[in-house]
Structure 1
Amino acid sequence: MKKFATTAGAAMVMALISNAAHACSPDGKFLVKLHGTAVLPDGELTDVPFASPAIAAALPADANTKADNNVVPTISIEYFATPNISVETYCCVTKHNVTGTEGLAGAELVDDIYLVPATITAKYHFNEGGPFKPYVGAGPAYFLYLKDKAGSTSQALGVTDIDIDDELGFVLQAGIDFALSDNGLGLSVDGKKYFIDATAHYFDADGAEVLTTEHKLDPWVVSVGLSYRM
């Protein structure tokens, strides 16, 4: 899946480069967007499939978790097969921490989670005339976890390493493109709702797994920025 996502992204970039020599147009085949993007995950603890006796004794019955928000730059590339139908992929790396809530309030569990939300959506554009062009979309998403580390609370319980499973999920999308000029420059507002979970594995210094937790991520991803069609 990682290889597929990389290959698909590279193919779209090469197609964009080969098309760049053509004059820019509001009806061009390619649309590039540069956004500021807010990534707003949930992170709620949904299950604890496994806990060592020592860890289980330290977990309160009302333990819960949350993941913090982040704002990152993103770039997306969209190909229009017809005036109404397109395929889009976008790229970003977002960073998050997971902390405790309720019975674990203030606990620092996982720090510096670097995540690539690899996403491809098929979109339908409502071309009603005029500069405003709303759209809806849907498609698969694959969350790739690049790096993370145990938070201070986890370390105090003997955790030295954490591994978060890559996960496949689904995304719904809606937004609007607004033409600012006749040469392809525009403004874009986009919203995505992901449906995806996460499983985290906690290990001690001997490499033994001492805790497994499952979480609901289901992030909202909201983007605003400029677009350029060619």
Structure 2
Amino acid sequence: MLIRGAATLVASVLAASATWAADLDAPREAMAPVLGPQPFYLHVGVAGIFNDPRAHISVASAPIPGAAVKIADRATFAVEAGYFIAANIAVSVSGGVPPISKVEAAGTLSGLGAIGKTQGGPIAATVHYHFGELGAFQPYIGAGVSALVVFSDEDRLLRRYRTEEAVGVVLQAGFDLMLDAHWGVFFDAKKGFIATNTRGYLTGLPAHSSVSLDPVVLHSGLTYRF
């Protein structure tokens, strides 16, 4: 359901892009300003978080062959705040309302149910280059640092279940489609490379997992420049 909703959101933004693409042939003075005098901007909208977890799990220091975890996709409200430090270069910080994710046993552990629940999510600080020569349509690419911020954990199969916060690298690409000097729509994609550790106790024995999350975050909504 989340993937279908994200696809609908992306399709809506792409449809708007097609509608406004004809404006690119108009005289440049009739277009929305490329950057204008507004160095600050906000991206506000819905984000989908799609994790691709790979885990190494052990109990009492003994690895469990074929053990894995799965984490369902999540949607949340997210905001990116940015500032142009040069005509085509901007820096930004992004984050959202932290969703609650259920970590379920998979692989050779399938059927054991949820290992635990975690409320948290990624935040990112990035620098990006904006291609401002295309008028109203303004794509960009960038990279930076991503952090997994954990607010709370909840026991399920494991007791005293805990997830460690972590830091990694993030890549970014997207576009703004400006409707006037201040307002527009946007689509943004971030790919994080981040790993964390979880700990707890299974029937009194210490359990540990090393999990590579490597999330993809798709974010779309309204742009406001000021």
TM-score tier by shorter-chain length is: 0.7 to 0.9
> How far apart are 1:65 and its partner, in Å?
1.1
Q: Would the alpha carbon gap of residues 100 and 116 (structure 1) be closer, same or farther in structure 2, given more than 3 Å must change? A: closer
Does 2:60 match 1:41? no
Report the count of equivalent residues.
191
Name the amino acid aligned to 1:188: F
TM-score, scaled relative to structure 1: 0.76
Q: Would the alpha carbon gap of residues 209 and 140 (structure 1) be closer, same or farther in structure 2, given more than 3 Å must change? A: farther
- Out of 68, 82, 92, the position equivalent to 2:86 is 82
> How far apart are 1:60 and its partner, in Å?
5.8
Q: Distance in 2 between matches of 1:73 and 1:110?
A: 26
TM-score, scaled relative to structure 2: 0.78
Is there any run of 5+ residues in structure 1 with no aligned partner, and where? 1-24
Question: CA contact under 8 A between 1:39 and 1:94: conserved in structure 2?
Answer: no
Q: Distance in 1 between matches of 2:129 and 2:205?
A: 45
Does 2:225 match 1:229? yes
Name the amino acid aligned to 1:132: F
Residues 120-147 of structure 1: per-residue CA shift (max 9 Å, x gap): 0001101123210000010011211111
Question: CA contact under 8 A between 1:110 and 1:149: conserved in structure 2?
Answer: no
Seq. identity, %: 26
**Structure 1 moving runs of 4+ over 6 Å:** none
- Out of 194, 212, 216, the position equivalent to 1:216 is 212
5 Å-filtered alignment, 1:1-230, equals: 27=36, 28-45=38-55, 47-48=56-57, 50-52=58-60, 61-92=65-96, 93-151=98-156, 154=157, 159-182=158-181, 184-203=182-201, 210-230=206-226
Q: Would the alpha carbon gap of residues 209 and 144 (structure 1) be closer, same or farther in structure 2, given more than 3 Å must change? A: farther
Q: Would the alpha carbon gap of residues 103 and 109 (structure 1) be closer, same or farther in structure 2, given more than 3 Å must change? A: same
Q: Tell me which residue corresponds to 2:11.
A: none
> How far apart are 1:163 and its partner, in Å?
1.1
Q: Distance in 2 between matches of 1:210 and 1:224?
A: 41
Question: CA contact under 8 A between 1:90 and 1:119: conserved in structure 2?
Answer: yes
Q: Which moved more, 1:94-103 or 1:109-118?
A: 109-118
Q: Would the alpha carbon gap of residues 200 and 209 (structure 1) be closer, same or farther in structure 2, given more than 3 Å must change? A: farther
